[in-house]
Amino acid sequence: MKRLFICAALLLGALSASAQSKDGGISADMLGKIREGYAATPEQKAVKNALASTSIATLAINGDNLAMCDTHFSHRVKTVGITDQESSGRCWLFTGLNVLRAKMIDKYDLAGFEFSQNYNSFYDLLEKSNLFLQAIIDNRDLPLTDRKVDWLLKNPIGDGGQFTGVSNLIMKYGVVPKSAMPETYQSNNTSNMTMILKLKLREFALELRELKPAKAAERKVEMLTEIYRILVECLGVPPTEFEWARYNKQGELVSSKKYTPKSFYEEYIGEDLEKNYIMIMNDPSREYNKVYEIEYDRHVYDGENWLYINLPIERVKELAIASIKDNTAMYFSCDVGKFFDRKKGTLDLANFDYASLFNTSFPMDKKQRIQTFSSGSSHAMTLIAVDLDAEGKAKKWMVENSWGAASGYKGCVIMTDEWFEEYMFRVVVERKYVPEDILKLLEQKPIMLPAWDPMFAPEE
């Protein structure tokens, strides 16, 4: 009997192997076996019929989690107003400016205030153009097929970004009130403008690769002059001087004077963004307590590459809680598209039940999702609140978004702590909230990562 069983098992294995074609393709026998996976049971038919006319997200809504979560938070940063990035990829800039905006409103007792995102966007696109053109010059001896040149040509410019763009641009160009350089149609709807810029920059790149270094440097200035003209036509002329009147909450005039963008920043914010902020990452696919740097991941050629400390999630929470308790908002980024209920404005692993809908499971953890490109940071928001239990453990968090006041929960997004652990990636914390043992890690020589690493795509 035992011998018969072994022979039967060997025969079954042989039949399974023969179902595959020799080159690994789908043979007729394999297709037959695959088709057997759909038995047309009443349950399968019901799912198929529902999916024929309804979105997956709607059908996967978890009926046991329909109620809105508790919106009370034990600790919340004082903020006023909600911004709107419209149809642009400038979440990183809105988030960075919103952190500074909260400080300014609180410090100077303002009824409301907004920095001009368009002003810093203008110089961001000009600086990114220079970064690209200079990188082309620096790597002109490499073939077009080289991985670095290939990446540069695929990514000449875009309006996405990250915090080093905020810090480098503001320290170099300052800031202005929104009234000094308001939004335009093109600043709010950037796709066509960036398409034109990409086309010109790629055209310029081919020309620069054929020039000698001295001539290339001279020609680059002419190219940037043309880029500047296009930016002015799309976004307006960035002010070099302006007048601004400050009123308190009661509407009383406090001061009125003339500023430059840098003098305005110095008077109302005045901190060194490049030295005062530490970028913290939670990436379990890489070793913790190490410092990493991403090549060419910066906005300004003579600025800083993206540099961060990779920490376990509990240490990240520790820093974030300390900042919020001290009424200080933070730059925060995450994989916002996962389990996001847009109507309620909640990020909750229980929002959608995809496993039950498709009668399967999704067992990958955070590390595996990163390794297989299933998850990564996609959007930046301003972390402003945490709800702590009696033992000081986080139950939920809240961020101020930049999708307008009508989006989410009063323009904000609430996330459970479980979701935070799985899909939060980065937070930028003021140095004073970072313990000495973590600051000491910055003494390490950073591990350089390539610009094309998918974990470091621009946040939009």
Does residue 174 lie in a domain region?
Answer: yes
Residue written as token pair 């022979």: 7
Torsion of CA 243, 108, 267, 382, to 10 degrees: -100
Closest listed residue to residue 425, CA positions, set 336, 341, 365: 336
Pairing, β 340-341 against β 346-347: antiparallel
Regions of the chain short of the pLDDT cut 50 = 1-18
Give the separation between CA 319 and CA 273, rounded to whole angstroms.
18
**Structural domain contains residue 40:** no
- Tell me, yes or no, whether 287 lies in a domain: yes
pLDDT value of position 21: 58
Alpha-carbon distance of 415 to 408, in angstroms, equals: 11
**pTM here?**
0.92
Q: What's the confidence (pLDDT) of residue 455? A: 75
φ/ψ region of 143 (left if φ > 0, alpha if ψ in -120 to 50, else beta) reads beta
The whole-number pLDDT of residue 14 equals 46
What is the pLDDT, as a whole number, of residue 296?
A: 86
CA distance 412 to 400: 4
Of the candidates 371, 383, 380, 382, the residue with the CA atom closest to the CA atom of residue 455: 371
At residue 452, the pLDDT reads 86
CA distance 318 to 392: 10
In a domain, 238, yes or no: yes
Q: Is the dihedral of CA 446, 451, 452, 456 positive or negative?
A: positive
Estimate the crossing angle of helix 163-173 against helix 91-108, to 10 degrees. 60
Q: How far apart are CA 65 and CA 61, in angstroms?
A: 8
Residue 280 lies in a domain: yes
- Rounded Cα distance between 316 and 298, Å, is 23
Inter-residue contact 240 to 261 (CB < 8 Å): yes
Residue 91 bears catalytic tag: yes
Residue 333 included in any domain: yes
Position 31, amino acid: L
- Name the domain count of the chain: 1
C-beta of residue 341 within 8 angstroms of C-beta of residue 351: yes
Range of the domain at 371: 75-456
| Marked catalytic residue, from 234, 351, 401, 412 | 401
pLDDT at 20: 54
234 catalytic residue (yes or no): no
What is the C-alpha to C-alpha distance for residues 47 and 38, in angstroms, rounded to an integer?
12
Instruction: Kindly state whether residue 248 falls inside one of the protein's structural domains.
Output: yes
Taking CA 322 as the corner, what is the angle to CA 318 and CA 325, rounded to the nearest 5 degrees? 135
Residue of 91, 234, 334, 412 with catalytic role = 91
- Domain of 90, CATH number, reads 3.90.70.10
Residue 45 lies in a domain: no
pLDDT at 410: 96
